Structure 1
Amino acid sequence: MEKGCASMVRIREILALDPLAGFELLAGAGGLDNVLTNVTILDYETDSMDFSAFQKGDFILTSLFFAKDAPQLIVDAFRELLRRGIAGIAVKTVFYKTLPADMLRLADAMNVPVFAYHAASMEEIILAAHSYMLAKEQRELAAMRLDAMLGFGRAPSAVAESVRALDAMLYPHCVASFSTPREGGALNLGQKMPVPLFSDGQYSAFFPYHDGLLQLYTTADAERLAGAEDAMLRAYESCGVAPAAWRTGFSAPCHAYDFFDAAIRQSLYSNRVCQCFEKPRLRYGTLGVYRFLPALLEDKSVLAEYRAALTRLRCFEEESGIAMLDTLSAYAAAHGSVEQAAKRIYQHPNTVRNRVKKARALLALNDDWYEQIFILMGLYALEQT
């Protein structure tokens, strides 16, 4: 496994799992963000109070069986477990309905959560927690591999190798898509990674990535990519992604593993433009000049110039009270039509002309000033998403 991909899981995360729905927090609320490394059972008789089997980060499930006839052992045992660095403990109310006050005071003082629960079996809890931890690790590993694949300057052979590491079942012909929820949308993937979809000569793999869901729809031959978008939307639905509640960007088809990074990047760009213009879905090939603008936001030198220009315009706005950015945005959206821009912001055309002239002076724009304003406002619109 790649270095640095270890996943951190906090106690509050596993509380959302179904078998833990009946957990009642008794003490130690300050430790709900404790990182747990394992969920394990303490449910055996012991005379020696030897808890050396437990490690830092353990989340312990117990019925206090070892103290069923000796309640005085509970606090001493808990104190020893605290020394071991446990993340938290959940007590099944088999032998004890309440816990000693000293134990709860220790839990609060040490920020180690103590829960009581009644119904779920320990095996159910462990299975759900370990499944969640594994799925989170898989998601983060996939995201790390995608980040590495999308790094600029990667050799084609390295990209192809990254694709195989991501999922060895992927075919070489691909359309990538990236979906993010509209306002109020939600990704409903449950506790596991989305299951790949396989049919004769077609294979779709899904990867939760940043704030959305990436799909790689791949085929054994190029002709099978026909109708890919409809098939991909149906596949998203199988993962709980309702197309009406999401925005989806599609790449152009690619036909070799070493171009998968370009296809993924195109889907990310298309999705960003979807968000910018509030479109339900867009293909990369239909973006026009916006095919190129998202990449500029990843270029440090361009980004520095853009930020400097934005700072000058905002300083002018603060000093004058004039909505310069709104005016220039409307002007760019109207493709340089002063009259249309004026209608968009409910101003006189001469007001727009004067503000554009002032912006040219503020930014020291030369003969291609319109193109520069268009690019600047295009980047501004994309960044707002």
Structure 2
Amino acid sequence: MLYTVSDFQRLYADSLRLVAGQGGLARTIDEVGILDYELMSGLRDKYQRKNLAPRQLVLSTFLYAKDDPYLIGEAVRTLVAEGASALVIKNALHLPLPESALRYANARNLPLFVVQSDGFFFDQVIVEVTGRIRDLGSASFAANQIDLALREDASPREVRECALAINPSFEERVACLYLRLDEEPDPQELSRIEAAFLRSSLAGVGSALVCYHRGILAIVTTDPEERIDLAGCMEVLRSEVLAGAGASAGGRPQPLGVTAGGSL
């Protein structure tokens, strides 16, 4: 499973304010990095930009821009070119954010956050986000959370916590669709199924696909006011996801203890 900018925003909602790039919240985060000396005048051509990488959540105080806030705009353009996922600014010096930088971030869908809490510490965020990325990359993590949620003595609060551990961007209205596969998928087949899911109309920041007990569990969520078309979702799961990945499924959809169309 993938960790997205939307997941990061939800987890740190009390500490962050999104100021640009809302269209990029579905971007995947593979790692966390700090923008420090890379673009500093006099050093940018002396050192390699080792800390910048594609699909990276970038943290910066922009201390090096204290005498020239327009260097922030240069950083935004550089991060877009490098394929970064998002930029988080801890604006300790209260530097003005150039309008040109915000417009560019909006045009290129690079989420740009400003820290608005004294309790947002870079070292702690790096550890927490790296841990979440590692957990979601584990094949057993989501299945274990589902097992915990399906315990007979699990409280509604525990079920909700397990669900949000799988995907913090889940919305309140939920549908769970399960299809048993004819055979246990190997890692390559599972990768093909996950890729087909990401290309399908079911994909979104509020959805997830989990390999569970020799089957595929698709979790689709929406805003409480919206309706989920269960039959349509199941058809997409069969035709776009499993067929698109060359996988075969047997049996009928099975409930997993969560009412389809219910709420978290």
Greater RCO, CA 8 A, separation 6+: 2
Change (3 A) 1:58 1:299: closer
Identify the match of residue 52 of structure 1 among 49, 54, 76.
49
Structure 1: how far apart are the matches of 2:149 and 2:86? 41
Identify the match of residue 188 of structure 1 among 158, 161, 167.
161
- Corresponding residue of 1:23: 16
TM-score, length-scaled by structure 2: 0.53
CA drift at 1:64: 0.6
- Corresponding residue of 2:35: 42
Structure 2: how far apart are the matches of 1:115 and 1:141? 32
Does the CA contact (< 8 Å) of 1:44 and 1:65 recur in 2? Answer: no
Identify the match of residue 8 of structure 2 among 14, 26, 32.
14
Structure 2 unaligned regions, length at least 5: 167-174, 177-211, 215-247
CA drift at 1:185: 7.2
Does the CA contact (< 8 Å) of 1:75 and 1:103 recur in 2? Answer: yes
Q: Which AA in structure 2 matches 1:49?
A: R
1:177-216 equivalences in 2 (<5 Å): 178-179=150-151, 186-189=159-162
1:318-333 equivalences in 2 (<5 Å): none
CA drift at 1:192: 7.1
1:303-318 equivalences in 2 (<5 Å): none
Q: Deviations over 1:37-65 (max 9, x none)?
A: 11111123722435732111011100112
Question: What root-mean-square deviation, in Å, do the aligned CA atoms of Structure 1 and Structure 2 show?
Answer: 4.1
Structure 1: how far apart are the matches of 2:97 and 2:249? 59
Q: Which AA in structure 1 matches 2:11?
A: L
Does the CA contact (< 8 Å) of 2:4 and 2:25 recur in 1? Answer: yes
Does the CA contact (< 8 Å) of 1:135 and 1:191 recur in 2? Answer: no
Q: Give aligned pairs, total.
A: 171
- Corresponding residue of 2:103: 105
- Corresponding residue of 1:235: none
Does the CA contact (< 8 Å) of 2:6 and 2:25 recur in 1? Answer: yes
Structure 1: how far apart are the matches of 2:90 and 2:73? 16
CA drift at 1:117: 0.5
CA drift at 1:70: 2.0
Q: Specify the SS of the correspondent of 2:131.
A: helix
- Corresponding residue of 1:134: 134
Change (3 A) 1:142 1:17: closer
1:229-244 equivalences in 2 (<5 Å): none
Structure 2: how far apart are the matches of 1:178 and 1:67? 51
CA drift at 1:77: 2.3
Does the CA contact (< 8 Å) of 2:69 and 2:95 recur in 1? Answer: no
- Corresponding residue of 1:81: 79
Structure 1: how far apart are the matches of 2:18 and 2:107? 15
Structure 2: how far apart are the matches of 1:190 and 1:182? 12
Q: Which AA in structure 1 matches 2:5?
A: I
Change (3 A) 1:109 1:187: same
Structure 2: how far apart are the matches of 1:24 and 1:89? 12
Change (3 A) 1:191 1:40: farther
Structure 2: how far apart are the matches of 1:177 and 1:91? 36
TM-score, length-scaled by structure 1: 0.38
Q: Specify the SS of the correspondent of 2:10.
A: coil
Change (3 A) 1:71 1:190: same
Does the CA contact (< 8 Å) of 1:26 and 1:116 recur in 2? Answer: yes
Change (3 A) 1:183 1:107: same
Q: Which AA in structure 1 matches 2:26?
A: D
CA drift at 1:182: 8.4
Change (3 A) 1:184 1:131: closer
Q: Specify the SS of the correspondent of 1:33.
A: coil
Structure 2: how far apart are the matches of 1:103 and 1:90? 13
Q: Specify the SS of the correspondent of 2:94.
A: coil
Does the CA contact (< 8 Å) of 1:17 and 1:128 recur in 2? Answer: no
Structure 2: how far apart are the matches of 1:144 and 1:109? 38
Q: Specify the SS of the correspondent of 1:112.
A: coil
Structure 2: how far apart are the matches of 1:299 and 1:84? 40
Q: Specify the SS of the correspondent of 1:15.
A: helix
Identify the match of residue 116 of structure 1 among 109, 114, 117.
114
Q: Specify the SS of the correspondent of 2:113.
A: strand
CA drift at 1:71: 2.0
Does the CA contact (< 8 Å) of 1:75 and 1:102 recur in 2? Answer: yes
Does the CA contact (< 8 Å) of 2:88 and 2:115 recur in 1? Answer: yes
Structure ranking higher in helix proportion: 1
Structure 1: how far apart are the matches of 2:141 and 2:17? 34
